Amino acid sequence: MVPQIKTFEEYKEQYELSVNDPEAFWGNIAENFEWKKKWNSVLEWNFSAPDIKWFNGGKLNITENCLDRHQAARKNQTAIIWEPNDANDAARHITYGELFLYVQQFANVLLAQDVKKGDRVCIYLPMIPEAAVAMLACARIGAIHSVVFAGFSAQSLADRINDASCKLLITADSMMRGEKKIDLKKIADDAMLTTPGINKCIVFNHKSSPVQMKPERDLWLHELLSKVNSTHTAEVMESEDPLFILYTSGSTGKPKGVLHTTAGYMVYSAYTFKNVFQYKDQDVFCCTADVGWVTGHTYIVYGPLLNGAVTLMFEGIPTYPDPGRFWNIIEKHKVNIFYTAPTAIRSLQLYGLQPVKGKDLSSLKVLGSVGEPINEEAWQWYHKNIGNGNCPIVDTWWQTETGGILISPLAHITPLKPAFATLPLPGIQPVLVDQKGNEITGNGVEGNLCIKFPWPGIARSLYGNHERFRTTYFSTYQNKYFTGDGCKRDEDGYYRITGRVDDVINVSGHRIGTGEVEDAIDEHNCVIESAVVAYPHEVKGQALYAFVICDRDIHNKEAVYLQIKNHVAKVIGPFARPDKIQIVKALPKTRSGKIMRRILRKIAEGDITNLGDISTLLDPAVVDAIVAGAAGLNEKNS
Q: Is 379 helix (H, G, I), strand (E, B) or coil?
A: helix
CB of 18 to ligand PRX, least distance (A): 21
Cα of first residue to Cα of last residue in the chain, in angstroms, is 54
Residues in contact with 8: Cβ distance below 8 Å, sequence separation at least 6, in sequence order? 413, 414, 415
CB closer to ligand PRX out of 347 and 483: 483
Buried b (16+ CB within 10 A) or exposed e, 491-508: eeebbbbebbbbbbbbbb
Q: Write out the DSSP string of 21-43.
A: -HHHHHHHHHTTS--SB--SEEE
Q: Which of 316, 371, 430, 588 binds ligand PRX (CB under 6 A)?
A: 371
Please check whether residue 586 is in contact with residue 596, taking contact to mean a CB–CB distance below 8 angstroms. Answer: no
- Nearest distance, CB of residue 141 and ligand PRX, angstroms: 27
Q: Min. distance of Cβ 505 from ligand PRX in angstroms?
A: 10
Q: Are strands 495-500 and 461-462 parallel, antiparallel or unpaired?
A: unpaired
Nearest approach in angstroms of CB 473 to ligand PRX is 12
**Segment 570 to 629, residues that bind ligand PRX, using CB under 6 A:** none
Site string for ligand PRX, 268-297 (x = CB under 6 A): -------------------------xxx--
Provide the minimum distance between the beta carbon of 186 and ligand PRX in the complex, in angstroms, as a whole number.
Answer: 27
Would strands 461-462 and 256-261 be described as parallel, antiparallel, or unpaired? Answer: antiparallel
Q: Which is nearer to ligand PRX, 39 or 379 (CB)?
A: 379
Q: Taking CB positions, which residue lies at the least distance from ligand PRX?
A: 400
Secondary structure (3-state) at 95:
strand
Whole-angstrom Cα distance, residue 490 to residue 444?
4
Among residues 338, 398, 469, 547, the one that binds ligand PRX under rule CB under 6 A: 398
In the complex, the smallest distance separating the C-beta of residue 400 from ligand PRX, rounded to whole angstroms, is: 3
Assess 421 for contact with ligand PRX (CB under 6 A): yes
By CB under 6 A, tell whether 248 contacts ligand PRX.
yes
H/E run at residue 247 = strand 242-248
Is residue 414 a contact point for ligand PRX (CB under 6 A)? no
Q: Which of residues 450-489 bind ligand PRX (CB under 6 A)?
A: 483-485
Applying CB under 6 A, which part among 47-55, 195-203, 280-288, 371-379 lies near ligand PRX?
371-379
Please state whether 338 falls in left (phi above 0), alpha (psi between -120 and 50) or beta. beta
- CB 516 within 8 Å of CB 553: no
Cα separations in angstroms, 332 against 47, 91, 278, 310: 48, 10, 22, 15
Binding mask 294-333 for ligand PRX (x = CB under 6 A): xx--------------------------------------
546 Cβ neighbours under 8 A, 6+ residues apart = 517, 518, 521, 530, 531, 532, 564, 578, 580, 581, 582
Give 558-565 contacts, CB < 8 A, sequence gap 24+: 558/634, 558/638, 560/526, 561/637, 561/638, 562/638, 563/524, 564/521, 564/524, 564/527, 565/638
Give the H/E segment covering residue 55. Answer: strand 51-56
Among 399, 448, 472, 542, binds ligand PRX (CB under 6 A): 399
Please tell me the number of Cα atoms within 13 Å of 382 on its side-chain side. 30
Return the number of the residue (352 or 415) whose C-beta is nearest ligand PRX.
Answer: 415
542 binds ligand PRX (CB under 6 A): no
Q: DSSP secondary structure string, 500-545?
A: ESSSEEEETTEEEEHHHHHHHHHTSTTEEEEEEEEEEETTTEEEEE
In 123-164, which residue ranges form alpha helices assigned H by DSSP? 129-141, 154-163
Q: How many residues does the chain have?
A: 638
Write down the least CB distance from residue 371 to ligand PRX, Å. 5
**340 touches ligand PRX (CB under 6 A):** no
Within 122-181, which residues bind ligand PRX (CB under 6 A)? none
Q: Does 373 help bind ligand PRX (rule: CB under 6 A)? A: yes
Is residue 264 within the footprint of ligand PRX (CB under 6 A)? no
CB of 449 to ligand PRX, least distance (A): 9
Tell me which residues in 487-506 interact with ligand PRX (CB under 6 A): 497, 499-500, 506
Count residues near ligand PRX (CB under 6 A): 23
* Cβ proximity to ligand PRX, 500 vs 580, nearer residue: 500
What's the min distance (Å) between Cβ of 422 and ligand PRX?
10
Question: Site for ligand PRX (CB under 6 A): which residue of 159, 372, 516, 579?
Answer: 372
Cβ 401 to ligand PRX shortest distance, Å: 7
Closest distance to ligand PRX from the beta carbon of 152 (Å): 14
Least Å distance between CB 122 and ligand PRX?
A: 19
Residues near ligand PRX (CB under 6 A) are 248, 293-295, 370-373, 395-400, 421, 483-485, 497, 499-500, 506, 511
